[in-house]
A and B are shown apart, each in its own frame.
Chain A
Amino acid sequence: MDTNSTDARPVLEGPDIERVLTRIAHEIVERAKGAEDVVLLGIPTRGVFLARRLAEKLAEVTGRTIPVGSLDITMYRDDLRMHPPRALARTEIPAAGIDGRLVVLVDDVLFSGRTIRAALDALNDIGRPRAVQLAVLVDRGHRELPIRADYVGKNLPTSLRETVKVQLAEEDGRDAVLLGAKPDAKAAEH
């Protein structure tokens, strides 16, 4: 995750984020033809909050309860050996499981694609979904793997000298996507 930067400028704010999530919810219903077998899995930390919000919106649109869970990818990271071990976050799979379902992974920022690769590996150990899709609030580019999102809240062309920070009310007290300058010019690792 990108670090704090002093001169960060908001590119999305509270109402924008709400609107973006509503649109993604409708896109999911449209593509999944009613979202009957959809399971939402958020990637901790902020992906989980986004997944919960999406589930609420999907429930409003479809009138059904959409199972929502969280998928921690820490153990599946390809840079696990390059840092001190990270504390594990919560993996919570809905009771009905994911076998044969359409799993929509939800994350805040799509960057190198390595987090999503790890998530696909993690899913492999949990079950066999019918299909896997990806929803992200922001796509900032700079992919290092052949991965793309099915639902994108906002495409945000960035340079590697910039940071993208997502704030959500559940964790940070307000909703915003902040674009700032990186304190040092070192390429971000995500």
Chain B
Amino acid sequence: MSSAANKYDACIAGIYEHPLRVAPDHTVAQLHAEVARGALLDAGLTLDDVDGYFCAGDAPGMGPVSMADYLGLKKLRYLDSTDTGGSSYLTHVNHAARAIAAGQCKVALITLAGRPKSEGSSGTQVRSQWASAPDFAFEKPYSPAPLNTYAMCAMRHMYEFGTTSEQLAWIKVAASHHAQHNPNAALKDVLTVDDVLNSPMIADPLHRADCCVVTDSGGALVVVHPDIAKTLKKPVVTMMGAGETTKGQMGGKVDLTYSGLAWAAPLAFKEAKLTPEQIRYASIYDSFTITVLIQLEDLGFCKKGEGGKFVEGGQLISGKGKLAFNTDGGGLCNNHPANRGGMTKVIEAVRQLRGEAHPAVQVPNLEFALASGIGGALGTRHGASVLIMGRLQ
């Protein structure tokens, strides 16, 4: 399996991000279809070329069974509905790459879409899909929502390592610097550290500006066999390495200072034969500022506990800092469709590798990019997934 997703074995050939951030007049299925069409157009392919289909819990009805019928996919021979929340779509890319390398399919379509903005779903509410989790019986009286469970991670990180609210704020500030160049971004205002600290405290120590946006929207990816990628017009983005896992409360041995990426990222770097020092652009899952900080440590960009120092002073701003991150504005400012930001993480990483990011934030001559995802809730149970991609020279 060591070479299954190595360079040239699978390529990301199509990307599309829905331009809408509020879509009250769309159905969720319609949004899936619009992003599928967009990504296939971007790749120069059609629905008839698709023989692999991937979707997660945001897909309406019976997942791929309902969506493949709605989309009119007639040649499917590979299906995957792995659902690890917002990290699902990175995991789908990994699984698609393995399936393509194994000869199971040649053109894999991955879609995500949702309408949480129109449906009034926010991070302060308990998620209904958590209700059947076996631990939920012991959590329900305490109303665990995304926001408060992440907030406890931030509080513990501050306690153990001296991380400050100012340092967390720098993550939002950097995202806002990037979002000003994205005409579709939900929040386009450039923020200062004080802006973040002066926004209302929602769940100590997280302010409103430490949180991602809630948006209707969607996105899609097309992963193809290298033989197909070579015939298409876009620059070829190749899969180089991936890792995925889950982390929970470990039988009560709770440790909120790290994510599952601490286990998954070394696998991805080993497979890609790269080190964090070689990554100049990273799409880091950004449901909250603390989500980014903990992942930067777990991905190896700095030591555990030193994330606060790593991000302060604008070190994540493209063209200014040591690591450019989320140059589309990320989930913190641009788009967090279906409350699941993993899809847009991959899309912006591909834009960067193709040289298609906004000129103000494009990293010059980018050879490698990383995308990470955290799905579920960092403070209770989550999926963790990471991809390392490269540009074919």
Q: Is the pairing of A and B real?
A: no
Q: Which residues of B does A touch, CB under 8 Å? A: none
